Structure 1
Amino acid sequence: MVAIIKLLVLALTASATPLVYRDVITVQNDITQKIGPQINTLNKDVSGFPASGLTGALAIHGDVQTLVSTVNTAITNIKSTGSFGTVSGTTILANIQAIVPDLLATLENIGLQEPSWAQIAGGQALMLSDLHSLNTAFSNYMDAIIGAEPLLLKSGGVAIKAQITGAFTTAIAAYSYV
């Protein structure tokens, strides 16, 4: 009798515990509703710098920190989803490719703004640190995407990662002598 009660308690506890399951829709929403809009915000703040001064620099730093956190959460969601199907994988790659131009433009502008960051005490070192954090997050993100893609789509993910990595390498190089 005691064993039956324990079994019932265990079953009720298990059924009351929410499953931590994510699906492809979550991964797509991370791209289109979170990462993409945050890249747009960062791009807008970077475009407004250096005219925005120290306030703008702080906004950019905050944008980067938020984006890193969001990308890291998206990595967890990808890993919880598991492998993508061909249709879903194609859609996900298309969604990522749609946000890449804004990310590349943002990184290019950040690289060009190095002299303005030098005008702020500790600005160059802060931006270099932010670039490294963001680079790591996006590199890990693309590794997770590539890992979840079906074999025939992995090369598309590798190509996107190469674009992103190249842009980060160029932006980081502008600050690396700090």
Structure 2
Amino acid sequence: MNIDPNINAKIEETMKTKTITSNSETAEQKQQDKQAEQQQKENEAADKQKKLNAKINKELKKSLKEDQNFYVKGDKRYNYSPFISSIKYTGQESSDRANVQVNTDFIELDNESKSAVAEKVQGVIGATLATVKDDYTEEKQDQGAGLFFYLNKRAVGHSSLLNSHKYKWYNIN
């Protein structure tokens, strides 16, 4: 039985095509697996950050309430606290940030007094982060957190991007 030599060539070509297709599918599957693994790592990191932020916010709420109680009892070292309604940490792994809700009495302060209150808020955040975050350093505390100040939903000021201890206040009157 003679086999046409063209058939052998066709069979070999078909086998090569199947091998190339198989290798291509394997490479594509590896890429999809790698992307899925990366997405899972990102999701786990986001979940971890969310839990950490919740813990930090719980401690910030507790600290602010304690400071407000000390002020009500006459301790003037906590004189910043009656101007603050809440502090919400919104930081990520690489940056510390917080939204600070103020009350209408804060708006009546001059800019220097607002900045003094903001520095006290920096201290509360720094002390809280030092107790909650394992990797919080003295250098990070010196840098401070990026702060954004709001009266309800209206922005009233923020810390500088390059220096978290300098503040920009908006005239909202």
TM over 0.5: no
Structure 2 length normalisation: TM-score? 0.28
Q: Which has the higher contact order (CA 8 A, sep 6+)?
A: 1
| Larger Rg computed on CA atoms | 2
More helix by proportion, 1 or 2?
A: 1
More strand by proportion, 1 or 2?
A: 2
Structure 1 length normalisation: TM-score? 0.28
